[in-house]
Amino acid sequence: MNVNAIGEFVGAFLILIGSIMSVISAFGLIRLPDVYTRSHAATKSSTLAVLLTLLGAFVYFWTTAHFISVRLLLGIVFVFLTAPVAGHLLVRSAYRSKVKLADISGTDDLREVLRKEEKEQ
Amino acid sequence: MINTMLTISLVLISITIVIAVLRIILGPSLPDRVLALDVIGVNLIASIAVISVLMNTKAFLEVILILGILSFIGTIAYSKYILRGVVVERKRDR
pLDDT for position A100: 80
Residues of B in contact with A96 (CB under 8 A): 83
Residue B93 lies in a domain: no
Residue B89 lies in a domain: no
Per the structure, the complete domain to which residue B47 belongs is given by 1-84
- Stretch among A22-26, B27-31, B70-74 having the lowest mean pLDDT: B27-31
Do A43 and A87 meet the contact criterion of CB atoms below 8 Å apart?
yes
Residue B53 lies in a domain: yes
Q: Does B44 touch chain A (CB under 8 A)?
A: no
pLDDT for position B15: 92
pLDDT for position B12: 92
Higher pLDDT, B43 or A65: B43
Distance, in Å, from the CA atom of B13 to the CA atom of B10, rounded to the nearest integer, reads 5
Which ranges of chain A have pLDDT less than 50? none
Residue B92 lies in a domain: no
Residue B94 lies in a domain: no
User: How many domains in chain B?
Assistant: 1
Residue B69 lies in a domain: yes
pLDDT for position B18: 93
pLDDT for position A95: 87
pLDDT for position B93: 65
Give B69's contacts (C-beta < 8 A, 6+ positions apart): A78
Q: How many residues does chain B have?
A: 94
Q: What is the pLDDT of residues A58-90, one digit of tens each?
A: 999 898 888 888 888 998 999 889 988 998 999
pLDDT for position B94: 55
* Cβ contact, residue pair B82, A93, below 8 Å: yes
pLDDT for position A117: 78
Residue B73 lies in a domain: yes
Distance, in Å, from the CA atom of A63 to the CA atom of A34, rounded to the nearest integer, reads 43
> Could you give the ipTM of this predicted complex?
0.86
Residues 54-93 of B with CB under 8 A from A: 56, 58, 61-62, 64-65, 68-69, 71-72, 75-76, 78-80, 82-83
pLDDT for position A53: 92
CA distance A35 to chain B (A): 6
Q: What is the pLDDT of residues B51-63, one digit of tens each?
A: 999 888 888 888 8
Which of these, B65, B30, B20, lies nearest to B45 by C-alpha position? B65
pLDDT for position B59: 86
